[in-house]
Chains A and B, each alone.
Chain A
Amino acid sequence: MQYVFQFGDVFAAWPLLLQGTVSTLQLSILAMLMGLVVAVLCAWGKTSGPALLRFVINAYIELIRNTPFLVQLFFFFFALPALGLRWSAYTAALTAMVVNLGAYATEIIRAGIESIPKGQIEAGLALNLKRHEIFRFIILKPALKAIYPALTSQFILLMLSSSVVSAISADDLTSVAANLQSQTFRSFEIYIVVAAIYLLLALSFSALFRLIYRLSLNYPDRR
C-alpha cells in the first residue's frame, strides 16, 4: 500500500462542510417535526377513524415501508413533476423524508396509544379530570414515554438516510462531499471525514434525546 492520505484539501474546505452539515441538520429537523405531525394525524385516524380512512392509512404505511427511500425520492423528484407539479430538489427531498418518516412513526405512535390501559382513562374520568387533562397527563405523556426509544431511533435513522437525497442533488452534507470529490479527487479522505461528521451528528442526537428523556420523562413506571 503506497497510498498517501492527503486531508489538506478536505480540511481547507471546512466552510463548505459546515454549510453541508447545517443543511443536513435543517432538513432532518424539519422532516422530524413535520413527519411527527403527519404520524400523529395518521395514528389518530388509524385508531379511531372510519373504515375507509383506516384502509387508506394502512395502504400508505405498507407502501412506504416496503419500498426503498431512494425509489420514493425518485418518484417525488422525477415522476410527480411529470404530472405538472413544479418543485425544487430541496422541496422534493423534504417531502419524501416527511412521507417516509410519517409511515414509520404512525405505527410507533399507534402502539404507544394502544399501550395505555383503558382503566387509566376511566380512573381519570372518575377523578373528574377534564378531557384535555386526561389527554395530556394520562394518554400523551405515558404513551410518549413508552415509544420514546423507538421514536428517537427512527429520527436518527431518518437523519442518516437523508444522505440519500444527494442522489437528486438536493443540498446536504453528502452532496457537498460529492462536489468536493469532483474538484479535488480525494474521494476516500472526503468520505472518511463526512462519515465521521455523520457519526458525530448521530451521537449528538442520541445524547440530546437522552437528556430530554432524563429531564421530562424520567419518572417511575407502574410495574
Chain B
Amino acid sequence: MRTFGFAEFLFILEAAKWTVALSMIAFVGGAVGGLIIALCRTSANALARWLSGGFILIFQGTPLLLQLFLVFFGAPILGFDVNPWLAAGVALILNSSAFLGEIWRGCIQAIPAGQVEAAHALSLSYVSRMRDIILPQAFKIALAPTVGYMVQIIKGTSLAAIIGFVEVTRSGQIINNATFQPLIVFSVVAAIYFALCWPLSFLAARMERQQAAALTR
C-alpha cells in the first residue's frame, strides 16, 4: 500500500492549477455574464428586467451541485459530448453570472439618482451614460464584494470533483483511495484551498474597511 509522501503531496498540489484554471474560467465568464445581467436588471426595459430577474432567481434558488448535474446530463441531449471541463465551466459561469449580476446590480443602484438625471440632462446616450458616468463609479463600490465573491468561486469549483473533474478535491480523493490516510490527505487539500482563498478574503476585508473609512470621512 502506498503511504502519503512527497510524490502524493505534489500530485495534489499540481491539481491546484486545474482548480485555479477552472476558477479563472468561471470568473471571467461570470464577469461578462454578470455585467449583462446587472445591466438588464437595471434597464428601463421591463422584459429585460423580468428575464434577468428569473435567471437570478433560478440560479440563486437551486443548489450549484444540481446545476452542475443538469449541465452534465443535459449537454448530451443538446448533442454535446459529456465532458467534465465543459459541464463544470458552463455551470460555474452561469452560477457566477447570477451572483455577480446581483452584486453589481446593487452597486449600479447605489449611484445617486442625480448622477443619472444629470447625464440625461446632458443628453448623453445610454452607452455613454453607463460607460462614462455610472459604471466607473459603480466599479469602485463593486471591487471589495467582487474580490470576496472570488473566494466563493474557488470553493465552488470543488463540486466539479463530484462529476469527475480532477482538481484539488478529486485528486485528494484519488490519493486517499490509494493511501487510506484521510486525515493527512484532506488536511493537505484544505490547506491548499486555504492558501488560495485566505489572501483574497483578507484583501476583500481590507478594501471594505478602507471604503467604509472613506465614506465616513
- Contact across chains for A71 and B198 when beta carbons are under 8 A apart: no
Q: How large is the interface on A (under 10, 10 to 19, 20 to 34, 35 or more residues)?
A: 35 or more
Q: Which of B27-35, B109-117, B121-129, B181-189 contacts A (4 or more CB under 8 A)?
A: B181-189
Q: Which of B42-50, B70-78, B134-142, B209-217 contacts A (4 or more CB under 8 A)?
A: B70-78
For residue B97, CB closer than 8 A to chain A, the reply is no
For residue A203, CB closer than 8 A to chain B, the reply is yes
Please, which residue of chain B has its CB at the minimum distance from the CB of A75? B186
- Contact across chains for A62 and B169 when beta carbons are under 8 A apart: no
Please give, as numbers and ranges, the residues of chain B lying within 8 Å of A161 by CB-CB distance: 63-64
Please give, as numbers and ranges, the residues of chain A lying within 8 Å of B180 by CB-CB distance: 82
- Contact across chains for A67 and B62 when beta carbons are under 8 A apart: no
Please give, as numbers and ranges, the residues of chain B lying within 8 Å of A72 by CB-CB distance: 190
Main secondary structure of the interface of B (DSSP, over half): helix
Q: Quick one: which of B153-167 are within 8 Å of A by CB?
A: 154-159, 161-162
A70–B161 Cα gap in the complex (Å)?
9
For residue B55, CB closer than 8 A to chain A, the reply is no
Q: Determine how close the nearest CB of chain B comes to the CB of A70; give it in whole angstroms.
A: 5
Q: Determine how close the nearest CB of chain B comes to the CB of A194; give it in whole angstroms.
A: 6
Q: Quick one: which of A14-65 are within 8 Å of B by CB?
A: 62-63, 65
- Contact across chains for B189 and A71 when beta carbons are under 8 A apart: yes
- Contact across chains for A174 and B65 when beta carbons are under 8 A apart: yes
Q: Determine which of A63, A79, A187 lies in contact with B69 in the assembled complex, contact meaning CB atoms within 8 Å.
A: A187
- Contact across chains for B182 and A82 when beta carbons are under 8 A apart: yes
A1–B57 Cα gap in the complex (Å)?
27
For residue B67, CB closer than 8 A to chain A, the reply is yes
- Contact across chains for A174 and B155 when beta carbons are under 8 A apart: no
- Contact across chains for A74 and B73 when beta carbons are under 8 A apart: no
Q: Determine which of A63, A75, A188, A191 lies in contact with B194 in the assembled complex, contact meaning CB atoms within 8 Å.
A: A63
For residue B52, CB closer than 8 A to chain A, the reply is no
Most buried by A among B183, B186, B189: B186
B positions within 8 Å CB-CB of A: 57-58, 60-67, 69-70, 73-74, 77-79, 151, 154-159, 161-162, 169, 172-173, 176, 180-183, 185-187, 189-190, 193-194, 197-198, 201
Can you list 23 contacts pairing A with B, beta carbon distance less than 8 Å?
A63-B190, A65-B201, A66-B193, A66-B194, A66-B197, A66-B198, A66-B201, A68-B157, A68-B158, A68-B169, A70-B162, A71-B169, A78-B182, A81-B182, A82-B183, A160-B64, A174-B66, A188-B70, A188-B73, A191-B70, A198-B63, A202-B61, A203-B61
A positions within 8 Å CB-CB of B: 1, 3, 62-63, 65-72, 74-75, 78-83, 160-164, 166-167, 174, 187-188, 191-192, 194-195, 198-199, 202-203
